[in-house]
A and B are shown apart, each in its own frame.
Chain A
Amino acid sequence: MANRNGRAAPVRGLDLTIWGISDPELLGIVDDLGDENGWTHSYDVRVQLGEDPETVRGRSGVGQRLAWMRRYGWLERSDEDGRWRVTPMGHAILDQPNLTKAVENALAKLNPAQRVQLTRELAEASGQGPLEVRTALRRQWQRSFGK
């Protein structure tokens, strides 16, 4: 389908906000598309997310999202050809272990006031952890709380 100016209407893919696709999901897609050394192009990620780069052109949010993930330390970018790859910390986030059933049950029994206390404990504990993990925690909070 074409616009009134004769250009093809942009075919956008997924909602690229943190609420449309989570950081681990986007990391997973970069990992899926990686070559034998794990590298992939923004173009391929855009196509994988249902975007048509020919019609969307430079107005995609994929590159920006990937660039932010590089700042967070979860992706690295090749200086030679601008391709992306998941860093070891990114792999750690992808591999995040699930909670045990006992922990899940204990969390389910917490009352709201205890949850506030738990949030404080988590925030304070992560303050001493790696910056990449603190960012992951903040963004997960943002995504879960904004829903």
Chain B
Amino acid sequence: MNNEVTPSANGSSSVMAGREGLLASMREQKNVLDERRRELMVEVHAIDEDLKAYNKAIAALDPQPAEGSKVSKAALDKVRPTASKVGPERLAEITEVIRDLASKDPDGEIRQVDVTHVTGYSSAVMSAAFNQLRDENVLRIARVARSATDDGKGKGTWFRLTRPALRDGQPQ
């Protein structure tokens, strides 16, 4: 840049010089602010990371979100069981039907479809309930029938009550 100032009658060179100086000063100020902003952004990022870590730890100890906490629902879901579960009342009702049907079968066996016909719940609910009962050691797989038998028992997966579940169902 040519900094040489040529004097003129109306003094425009001094105005130009003043504007250049002002611009340079403003640019310098802007650079300082940009630099400060960058530093703050780095700090905010570091604080965000720390906050995430603290929120995660707090959620692990107390699943209820603290007042004013910015823990997202997705973050909370991570500390909750994700498997679909059937409620205790519904599960107890299904278990009761299973016990009833199993007591009527000569081999003590039942199929999911037969229980569905009695309870009227959707197959999704029934599948979740049966899986839950298997996990809770109430039901177990007895056999898989590829075709109906002569005594009228249909094909499909047959279940039966486990030994502890049979004991629990006996009158004390």
Q: Does A22 contact B (CB under 8 A)?
A: yes
Contact with B along A131-145 (1 / 0, CB 8 A): 000000000000010
Is A107 an interface residue, CB under 8 A from the partner? no
Closest A residue to B145 by beta carbon equals A50
In the complex, A8 has a CB within 8 A of chain B: no
Choose, from A63-71, A73-81, A93-101, A118-126, the stretch at the interface: A93-101
User: Nearest 7 pairs between A and B by C-beta?
Assistant: A50-B144, A25-B140, A112-B60, A48-B143, A25-B141, A28-B140, A113-B60
Instruction: Name the residue on B nearest A31 (C-beta).
Output: B163
Main secondary structure of the interface of A (DSSP, over half): loop
Contact check, B168 vs A48: say whether CB atoms are below 8 A apart. Answer: no
Contact B63 A111 (CB under 8 A): yes
A98 with B60: CB separation less than 8 A: no
Q: Given A25-B134, A94-B163, A111 and B141 touching (CB < 8 A)?
A: no
Contact status A111-B62, CB under 8 Å: yes
Interface size class of A (residues with CB under 8 A): 20 to 34
Hey, what's the 0/1 contact readout for B135-150 against A, CB within 8 Å counting as 1?
Answer: 1110011111110000
Q: A95-B164, A98-B164 are in contact. Are A50 and B146 (CB under 8 A)?
A: yes
Known A25-B141, A50-B146, A111-B63; further 10 A-B contacts with Cβ < 8 A: A13-B144, A24-B137, A25-B140, A50-B145, A94-B162, A96-B137, A96-B164, A98-B137, A98-B164, A98-B165
Q: Can you report 14 residue pairs joining A to B where beta carbons are below 8 Å apart?
A: A24-B137, A24-B162, A25-B140, A25-B141, A28-B140, A29-B143, A32-B143, A48-B143, A48-B144, A50-B157, A94-B162, A97-B164, A111-B60, A147-B83
A111's partner among B61, B145, B160, B165 (CB-CB below 8 A) is: B61
Residue among B79, B144, B168 facing the most chain A CB atoms (10 A cut-off): B144
- With a CB–CB cut-off of 8 A, which chain A residues contact B142? 28-29, 32, 48
A111, B63: Cα distance in complex, Å: 7
| Nearest CB in chain A: distance from B99 CB, A | 15
Chain B CB within 8 A of A21 CB: yes
8 Å CB interface, B36-70 against A: 59-63
Task: Check A14 for interface membership: any CB of B closer than 8 A.
Answer: yes
Q: Say yes or no: is A11 at the interface (Cβ < 8 Å to chain B).
A: yes
Q: Is the CB of A21 within 8 A of B163?
A: no
Inter-chain contact A52/B140, CB cutoff 8 Å? no
Taken together as a complex, chains A and B put the C-alpha atoms of A113 and B165 apart, in Å, by 31
Task: List chain B residues, Cβ under 8 A from A25.
Answer: 134, 140-141
- Is the CB–CB distance between A21 and B141 below 8 Å? yes
Pairwise interchain contact B135-A14, C-beta atoms closer than 8 A:
no
Q: A112-B79, A113-B61 known; A50 and B143 CB under 8 Å?
A: yes
B residues in contact with A111, CB < 8 Å = 60-63
In the bound complex, CA of A144 to CA of B164 (Å): 20
Return A65 CB to nearest CB of chain B, in Å: 13
Q: In the assembled complex, which residues on chain B have CB atoms less than 8 Å from the CB atom of A113?
A: 60-61
